[in-house]
Structure 1
Amino acid sequence: MKIEQIYTGCLAQGAYYIVSENEAAIIDPLRETKPYIDRLEKDGVKLKYIFETHFHADFVSGHVDLSNKTGAPIVYGPTAKPEFDAIIAEDNQIFEIGKIKIKVLHTPGHTMESSTYLLIDENGKETAIFSGDTLFLGDVGRPDLAQKAANMTQEELAGILYESLQNKIMPLSDEITVYPAHGAGSACGKNMQKETVDTLGNQKKTNYALNQPNKESFVKEVLDGLSAPPQYFGMNVAMNKGGYESFENVMKKGKNPISVEDFENVAEQSGALILDTRNAAEFHKGFIPNSINIGLKGDFAPWVGAMIVDVQQPILLVCDEGTEEEAITRLSRVGFDNIVGFLNGGFESWQNSGKEIDTINRISAEEFAQKFNENSKVIDVRKESEYQAEHVNEAFQRPLSDINEWANSLNNDEHFFIHCAGGYRSMIAASILNSRGIRNFSEVEGGFNKIKETSVSKSNFVCQSKTH
């Protein structure tokens, strides 16, 4: 028996590849199927089942494409109603793969169809659980995403999740390995550990959600501090439930090189958003006017999903040459399939053509320290938890994820500084503000991490554990 966790850091997502004898199973695959097909061919095994723990909200699964290519059926837990052929398993139903077995444990609460898959090895020993979004390491799945579909309140769903954990997960052996669908950084939970594999026994000791004295306390603690889910989540659920265009077609359409001469016309005619995926250090020095910067070398896909409201939005890409395919792949993982094409030759070709460019005023942390005074306006776009731990004295906490709510309140006649932790998020914010005509600001290179290193930081402007 072989179990391989295929972890994708950008999405903090774990898919699983399991082999026994000459058969295999895959749990919660990502959108692109080639990595799985390659593994199957290398191992000389047949894919017998594709298990889905639930209808995912934060990414588009590769289940439909993978099933079409291999003939393997898709398996969901009880109550699932996909709009394509699938096996809807019963609670405690057994599936055999080679000499091992997968037992379906219906564990509703995150969503009503959510199921945990219990692996029973060749010797009949319960060895591991693939817990989807029911149980994370350090946390449990948020119960506020499926309210509309389930026609329930988040409190009711949290109560159902409590019962699932108590009745289906907690009675299992402490020796069982927990393989969750997500790790730290995912928006599907709030308190996940950085590790991606653990024993159930350790989770029983360390996971706050498994250590609540009663259901009432569990509901209160699990719901406390949940931020609003990204807007693309609902659209990804719809794609996972209803099916989608094949990844190969999405890639073929997106890998469309567009000349500098045609780029502006295509943007105007298609209504496309110009998405510049270069890193912030390059972007700020020059970019196509009205471009939005979300760097490929970062949490690219989740931030695209958080910042761009509609997955159907036409997108034109500006990429470092040779990274176009990666950008299209990562966009497709979160359902952004409407890629019109990319600028042939990248930004350099635009610049060399003599066309208009724009810039962002980026300053160093030392320059910020020199200019900062009691009258300075500072906008911190980090998360609330980061801000509360430590922040610039009197800074306004304005999370990047809420930029559409606070951007219009800015006074363009009043200069302000803007920063995040390291410069990735603040450049996203800067590009969005700039595209809306808000330009009277300075973005701080290196963000708060560099601000803390300045010679005058502690004595003059860094304030710890102060809310604002």
Structure 2
Amino acid sequence: MIIHQFYDTGLAHASYAIIRDAKMIVIDPSRDPQSYYDFAQLHEADIVGVIETHPHADFVSSHLEIHETTGAIIYCSKLVGAAYPHESFDDGDIIHLADIKLKAINTPGHSPDSICILLQDEDGNDQALFTGDTLFVGDVGRPDLRENAGNITAKKEELARQMFHSLRDKLMQLPHHVTVYPAHGPGSLCGKNMSPDLDSTIGRELRDNYALQITREDEFVKIITTDQPFVPHYFGFDVDLNKNGAPAFKQSVARVTKGNVDLEKGIIVIDTRTKEEFIAGHLKGAINLQDGGKFETWLGSIIEPHEQFYLIAATDGALAIVIKKAAKIGYEQNIKAALLTPLNANHTSAVIDLDAFKTSPNSYTIIDVRNRSEISEGKIFENALTIPLPELRNRLHEIPTGRPIVVHCAAGYRSAAATSIIAGRISSTPVYDLSEAITDFGLSH
């Protein structure tokens, strides 16, 4: 038997292949199915099944495409209300993969339709648990993403109570040696306290996972429903897209218009070049969302699912990469056109005089665009106006314009995007990015 983990660092997403006797099942696949096809070919196996632990909010799955390409059966809970061809996979249901078994365990909590998958080896021993977004290494799934999305909606407090019982009555009763394979690692917005490790055991989680130490249901609900990360705009959109099944990856990406086009007014421009390139020359009003480790998350946090946008990159290769990253959250269909840096990208950005700012920071309006959880740990500038980046486009009217504006985050990535957003709307005063220089300043007391 082979168990293989595929890991997408950009979305902190783990998917899995299980092979037994030349037959392969994929669990929670990412948008591009090619790696699963390659793995199956490498091991001379046929993909016979795809299991979805729930309709994912933070990435688009290729379950429907794999089914249409290979004929593999899609398995998911009947509670999903899936619009694609599938077989229900709930408590008591078993998938036989040669002489091993995959057993469904309904584990509502992260979502009402979440399942975990218990693998039993050829001798009938419990060996591994694929936990989706129910149990992570060091954490459990957040319960607040299905209040307005999916076939079944539920308030976060209700889901947190269901999570408490899914954990205590089902998962925590499994043998301690069972390996835990979650759908996410650190950096995912589906939890708040994940370990850097990408697998664990039931015994280790019973010992080390803070959420499994909480024995009172009311206390568990209170802790699990507070201090969760922000929810990007695209999460509900992806739940519904996954419930219906996304179009095939390569074909959908290929349909994106590329090349020189006349840009329509009123459509957002996302410039993915480095901030140095952007500062030196860009289209007026463009947003500088640099290609990087979390590009997909920030794209879906700034742009709403109904919005079209233009995508700019410095080279053909860079452009292909960011189009594929947009597709990982289902946003390739929002791209009006993708193009290289236009010749008229000659609008420059204001550059801060750092010495002047350090001498008299109170002469500036300072905007802190970090996340709420970061701000709650302390402000870097006591008088800063706090507007987290995902909220910025809807709160620009709150920014006073009587003084020069300085924007900061924790390291420089988000402040580059935020500065471009503000400067695109406010032209009556300079807008500066404090960028990496923020590390010269400590938390205020």
State the TM bucket, normalised to the shorter chain: over 0.9
Segment of structure 1 superposing worse, 229-238 or 140-149? 140-149
Decide whether the 8 Å contact of 1:279 with 1:297 is kept in 2: no
Deviation for aligned residue 1:447: 4.7
CA deviation profile, 1:174-203 (whole Å, cap 9, x unmatched): 111111111221111122222211122111
Match of 2:283 among 283, 288, 304: 288
Amino acid at match of 1:134: T
Amino acid at match of 1:126: D
Q: 1:356 to 1:225 in 2, by over 3 A?
A: closer
Three-state SS of the structure 1 residue aligned to 2:5 is: strand
Amino acid at match of 1:252: A
| Gap runs ≥5 in structure 1 | 453-461
Q: Which residue of 1 aligns with 2:130?
A: 130
Q: Distance in 1 between matches of 2:90 and 2:388?
A: 43
Q: 1:357 to 1:22 in 2, by over 3 A?
A: same
Three-state SS of the structure 2 residue aligned to 1:74 is: strand
**Is 1:258 aligned to 2:253, yes or no?**
no
Segment of structure 1 superposing worse, 102-111 or 192-201? 192-201
**Is 1:326 aligned to 2:303, yes or no?**
no
Amino acid at match of 2:215: P
Q: Which residue of 2 aligns with 1:302?
A: 297
| Gap runs ≥5 in structure 2 | none
**Is 1:420 aligned to 2:409, yes or no?**
yes
Match of 2:336 among 340, 362, 375: 340
Q: Distance in 1 between matches of 2:437 and 2:186?
A: 21
Q: Distance in 2 between matches of 1:142 and 1:275?
A: 30
Q: Which residue of 2 aligns with 1:458?
A: none
**Is 1:463 aligned to 2:410, yes or no?**
no
Three-state SS of the structure 1 residue aligned to 2:255 is: helix
Decide whether the 8 Å contact of 2:79 with 2:152 is kept in 1: no
Q: Distance in 2 between matches of 1:28 and 1:110?
A: 15
Deviation for aligned residue 1:9: 1.1
**Is 1:80 aligned to 2:80, yes or no?**
yes
Q: Distance in 1 between matches of 2:299 and 2:144?
A: 22
Q: Distance in 1 between matches of 2:79 and 2:358?
A: 61
Q: Which residue of 1 aligns with 2:108?
A: 108
Amino acid at match of 1:79: L
Q: Distance in 1 between matches of 2:145 and 2:178?
A: 28
Q: Which residue of 2 aligns with 1:313?
A: 307
Three-state SS of the structure 2 residue aligned to 1:186 is: coil
Q: Which residue of 1 aligns with 2:264?
A: 267
Q: Which residue of 1 aligns with 2:24?
A: 24
Q: 1:95 to 1:356 in 2, by over 3 A?
A: closer
Q: Distance in 2 between matches of 1:233 and 1:30?
A: 15
**Is 1:276 aligned to 2:277, yes or no?**
no
Q: Which residue of 2 aligns with 1:446?
A: 436
Q: How many pairs does the alignment contain?
A: 439
Q: 1:151 to 1:70 in 2, by over 3 A?
A: closer
Q: 1:195 to 1:372 in 2, by over 3 A?
A: farther
Three-state SS of the structure 2 residue aligned to 1:185 is: coil
Q: 1:284 to 1:103 in 2, by over 3 A?
A: same
**Is 1:382 aligned to 2:370, yes or no?**
yes
Decide whether the 8 Å contact of 2:28 with 2:52 is kept in 1: yes
Amino acid at match of 1:184: P
Amino acid at match of 2:443: C
Deviation for aligned residue 1:129: 0.9
Q: Distance in 1 between matches of 2:187 and 2:61?
A: 19
Structure 1 consecutive aligned stretches of length 4 or more whose deviation exceeds 6 Å: none
Q: Distance in 2 between matches of 1:6 and 1:384?
A: 31
Q: Which residue of 1 aligns with 2:46?
A: 46
Decide whether the 8 Å contact of 1:360 with 1:430 is kept in 2: no
Decide whether the 8 Å contact of 2:229 with 2:373 is kept in 1: no
- Listed as ranges, the matches of 1:121-160 within 5 Å are 121-148=121-148, 149-160=151-162
Decide whether the 8 Å contact of 1:5 with 1:14 is kept in 2: yes
Task: Give the % identical residues.
Answer: 32
Deviation for aligned residue 1:211: 0.9
Three-state SS of the structure 2 residue aligned to 1:417 is: strand
Q: Which residue of 2 aligns with 1:4?
A: 4
